[in-house]
Amino acid sequence: MYPNPVHDRMTVELPDNTEARLRVFDAMGQLVLQAVSHADRTELDLSGLQPGHYVVQVLSSEHAGTARILRW
C-alpha cells in the first residue's frame, strides 16, 4: 500500500489479480470504506475521510493482512 501518509488516493497492490475485499477502519474501529478488488492494483479514494489514523484490511481466499495508514 502506498503512499503512506496518504492525502486523497492510495494504491493497493495484490498478487496475481487476486479478488480481495478491502476495508478501511477509523481509529474507533468503525468501518468507513470498503471495496472489492479484481485486479493486481486497486486505487482507493480516501478524499471523503477526515485526516487521521486508519487501518486498512485486505482479505482474500489466499491472503490476509492489515496496515496502519495516516491520512493528512
Print pLDDT tens along the chain (72 aa).
Answer: 999 999 999 999 988 778 999 999 999 999 999 999 999 899 999 999 999 999 999 999 888 999 999 999
Which residue range forms the structural domain that includes residue 34? 9-71
Residue 2 lies in a domain: no
CA–CA distances in Å: residue 59 to residues 29, 37, 52, 68, 72: 17, 10, 23, 15, 25
What total number of domains does the chain contain?
1
Residue 46 belongs to domain with CATH number: 2.60.40.3080
| Cell representation of residue 23 | 476495508
Helix, strand or coil, per DSSP, at residue 16? helix
Residue 33 lies in a domain: yes
Residue 56 lies in a domain: yes
Region label for 7, one of left (φ > 0), alpha (ψ between -120 and 50) or beta (otherwise): alpha
Residue 1 lies in a domain: no
Predicted local confidence at residue 62, as pLDDT: 84
